[in-house]
Each structure stands twice: as C-alpha cells, then as structure tokens.
C-alpha cells in the first residue's frame, strides 16, 4: 500500500510510533487482518486557518486541525490541544490513539483529536476566546453531539470548552451541551471529570502493581508532568501509602527520597504554577530525572519522552503512561529488553475519556449522577478493561501495549467488517 502523501513520519515520530504499534498487533488479528489498512489511514483530516484581530489591532493567523481517525464504532471523541508545536502528524497520531483507547475500554466512540498551533501564554484572555470561537466555527462542519465531541487536552480547560459549546450552539440555533465534554458543572459538565484521568492512572497502576507484586505501601513514584493528570495521580498514590520521590514539570525538577508532603507541594504549585522553588525538595538538573530510583515512573507530560537513551538509564520497575505516546518505539524496545513493564497510555490514561462518556450520557438524559456513582462506575470499567488486557497479554505472551492494541483493534475491525463498505 502506498504511504500517505501528506505526512512524512519517521520511526520515532508520533505517526511513525503509531504505525509501528499497528505493525506489532497485526499477527494477532486473525482473519481481521484484511481490514487492518483502515487503521493506518485517518478517515478525515481538516486543516483550518484561524484569523483574529489582536488586542493591538493587528491581524494574526493560526493553524488549526481536527482529525477523525475512525468513526466505525460511534462518533469521534478526543481532546483539543493548544501548543506551539502542534502539527498535523501529531494530531493524526493522537486521534488514532483515541480510536484504540476508546475501543480498549469498550466505549461507543471512534477516535478524533484537534489542535491549534499557538502558545496560549502569549495571548490575552480575549484573544484566546476569539481563537477558540473562530476555530470552533471552522471545524463546526464536522463536529456535533452525534458526530464528534471535543474535550480538554494540553493547555485547554473547562472555560475553553464553554466557549466551544456556546459557539457551536449559536451557530446551530439551539443549546447543545453534548457537543463537548470537560465543561463547567454549570453547563452540563460532570462531577469527577477533572480528576478522572489521574484517577484512572492510579487505579490501573494499583492493579498492575498487585500483579507484579510491588507493594503500594512505601512504593517510590516518580512523576514527569505535574498538570491535571500527574498531580492527581501523585496525590492518589501518596494518599494510599506511596512516596512521591521525584517530580518534573516545565519549570524544573525536584527530588526527595523520603517523599514529598503532597499538600504543601500542591499548594506551592497552585500559587507559583510550577514545582520550581519548592522548599520541601532538592532541585536537580532536568536530565537527571531519568536517573532517579523508583518503583513506578509516570510520564504525564508530552509524547516522545522515553527515548532509547533515557530507557537505558531508567531505574524503575513499572512505567505508567499518563501522557499520550510518551514512549518511543526505540525506547520501548530497550525497556522490554530490561524487563521493565509498560502499562500503555491507551488503558492507563483512559479514565478521562471514560468520564467524558459519562458526561455525554448525562447531557443526553438531562439526569446527573453523584461523584461517588461516577467513581464507582469509572473504577469498574478501568479494572475490567485492564484485567482483559492483562489476560490477553498472558495468553499470547506479548507486552501489555500489544495486548491492548489486540483487544482494541479486534473490536474496531469486527465493527468495520460487520458494517461493510459503503457504497
């Protein structure tokens, strides 16, 4: 099959990483292999120009993307990120991982993702609102409560989702709360959504540790990325007896062999917007983070962090992928050789999309659940999905990522086969 003409992936680039994961799972798909090429091609990719008038009267243009990788099992679902390094290839890979993630936990969604190439720190709140509203209008032709449902991702939040929902609603002439998830509670958001991804990382991590005979009490945990996902996962691990011994974010890296006092660290980060300068730990060079001894490492920042060189240095037993695509194929090969278990992103961080699904269901029914109900349902889905993936891995004697892809790709391709090709 010819390669796609509009991207030029390398082995360790985002789309190249995804393609290598599909290559790895192909031998385990049986008769469904005849359909596997559909996984290597996004169904739809939209690139939009976003012109806005800046506060100083000049006109600025930004690149925006929305990619729908697969709509076979339901409407597209996936976040929108604002970052200066966003590219079409990155958004394609993230949308494909959403296809796998949704199928791995058996949600009735396909995979989608969006992004705008900008640094939100350089825009005023009014400029950010203009960008968001224009972007939503431009991608409005392919999103909707039954078509594709965006959500928060890197540098986006409930406020941005509120602007997106309002813009879509104004353009369609009716309030459509179900067009996005991760909204403020007042606009049909769900309790438990903000903490959901970090909670999912903890729940799946706890299950993996039990199977690997790693005691949770006293376990040393290192966390890269201390935003919504990393901080909540760290908080839950600490609350259940683990020690958070290293944290890295965009401001720096801190360590404490005895474990951080999480309450004071979280308070410091809330006040200063970063871990740098925290008095309860020792600052080290960012690159030394990869040498810290731990039992569990949680990469919860951006993709492509665990390279072959860093994987060789890691002193840990378990990698829990809180971010999307944080381990490169070369890095993964080194970890496998060294016997370090990787719980892949498509199950480890699926808590966020699971509670996004709950939010979507609640919006449609206009009936909302308590946070306890949401957490019970979330834990049940995450534990059941992880158990199925673990057993698939043991059955075929394959790594957990290949097992997760086997479960997910089988579901997607079975649905593809049942639906057939139109026309």
- Catalytic positions, written as ranges: 113
How far is Cα 96 from Cα 70, in angstroms, rounded to an integer? 8
How far is Cα 406 from Cα 276, in angstroms, rounded to an integer? 41
| Contact by Cβ (8 Å): 230, 297 | no
Q: What is the dihedral of CA 15, 21, 22, 23, to 10 degrees?
A: 110
> Cis ω on the peptide bond leading into residue 226 (within 30° of 0)?
no
The full length of the chain comes to 423
Which residues lie closer than 8 Å to 253 by C-beta, 6 or more apart?
Answer: 246, 247, 275, 283, 284, 285, 286, 288, 289
- What does residue 278 show for φ and ψ, rounded to 5 degrees? -70, 130
For residue 285, CA distances in Å to 51, 55, 248, 282, 291 come to 40, 38, 10, 10, 11
| Contact by Cβ (8 Å): 67, 45 | yes
| Contact by Cβ (8 Å): 218, 225 | no
How far is Cα 148 from Cα 180, in angstroms, rounded to an integer? 8
How far is Cα 286 from Cα 252, in angstroms, rounded to an integer? 6
Which residues lie closer than 8 Å to 195 by C-beta, 6 or more apart?
Answer: 232
* Residue matched to tokens 């590219």: 87
Q: Sort strands 252-255 and 282-284 into parallel, antiparallel or unpaired.
A: antiparallel
- Written as six digits, the tokens of 49 are 């120009």
Quote the distance between the C-alpha of residue 291 and its chain's center: 25
Burial class, 251, CB count within 10 angstroms (exposed 0-12 / middle 13-18 / buried 19+):
middle
- What does residue 116 show for φ and ψ, rounded to 5 degrees? -125, 135
Please tell me what DSSP assigns to residue 315.
B
- 185: helix, coil or strand? helix
């Amino acid at each position: 099959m010819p390669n796609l003409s509009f991207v030029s992936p390398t082995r360790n680039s985002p789309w190249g990483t995804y393609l290598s994961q599909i290559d790895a799972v192909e031998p385990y798909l049986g008769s469904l292999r005849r359909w596997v090429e559909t996984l290597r091609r996004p169904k739809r990719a939209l690139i939009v120009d976003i012109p806005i008038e800046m506060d100083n009267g000049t006109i600025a243009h930004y690149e925006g993307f929305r990619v729908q990788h697969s709509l076979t099992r339901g409407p597209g679902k996936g976040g929108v990120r604002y970052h200066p390094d966003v590219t079409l290839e990155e958004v394609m890979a993230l949308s494909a991982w959403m296809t796998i993630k949704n199928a791995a936990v058996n949600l009735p969604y396909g995979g989608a993702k969006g992004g705008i190439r900008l640094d939100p720190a350089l825009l005023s709140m009014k400029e950010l609102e203009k960008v968001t509203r224009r972007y939503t209008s431009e991608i409005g032709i392919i999103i909707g409560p039954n078509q594709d449902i965006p959500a928060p991702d890197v540098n986006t939040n409930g406020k941005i989702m509120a602007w997106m929902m309002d813009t879509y609603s104004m353009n369609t002439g009716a309030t459509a709360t179900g067009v996005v998830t991760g909204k403020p509670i007042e606009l049909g958001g769900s309790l438990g959504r903000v903490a959901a991804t970090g909670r999912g990382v903890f729940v799946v991590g706890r299950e993996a540790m039990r199977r690997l005979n790693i005691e949770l009490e006293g376990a040393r945990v290192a966390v890269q990325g201390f935003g919504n996902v990393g901080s909540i996962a760290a908080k839950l691990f600490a609350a259940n007896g683990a020690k958070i011994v290293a944290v890295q974010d965009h401001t720096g890296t801190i360590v404490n062999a005895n474990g951080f006092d999480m309450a004071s660290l979280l308070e410091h980060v809330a006040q200063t917007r970063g871990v740098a300068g925290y008095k309860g730990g020792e600052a080290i060079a960012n690159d030394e983070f990869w040498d810290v001894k731990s039992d569990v490492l949680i990469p919860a920042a951006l993709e492509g962090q665990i390279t072959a060189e860093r994987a060789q240095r890691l002193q840990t037993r378990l990698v829990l992928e809180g971010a999307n695509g944080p381990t490169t194929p070369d890095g993964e090969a080194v970890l496998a050789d060294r016997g370090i278990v990787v719980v892949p992103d498509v199950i480890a961080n699926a808590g966020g999309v699971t509670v996004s699904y709950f939010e979507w269901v609640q919006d449609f029914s206009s009936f909302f659940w308590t946070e306890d109900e949401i957490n019970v349902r979330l834990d049940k889905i995450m534990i059941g999905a992880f158990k199925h993936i673990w057993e698939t891995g043991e059955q075929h004697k394959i790594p957990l990522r290949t097992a997760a892809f086997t479960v997910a790709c089988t579901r997607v391709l079975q649905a593809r086969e049942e639906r057939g090709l139109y026309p």
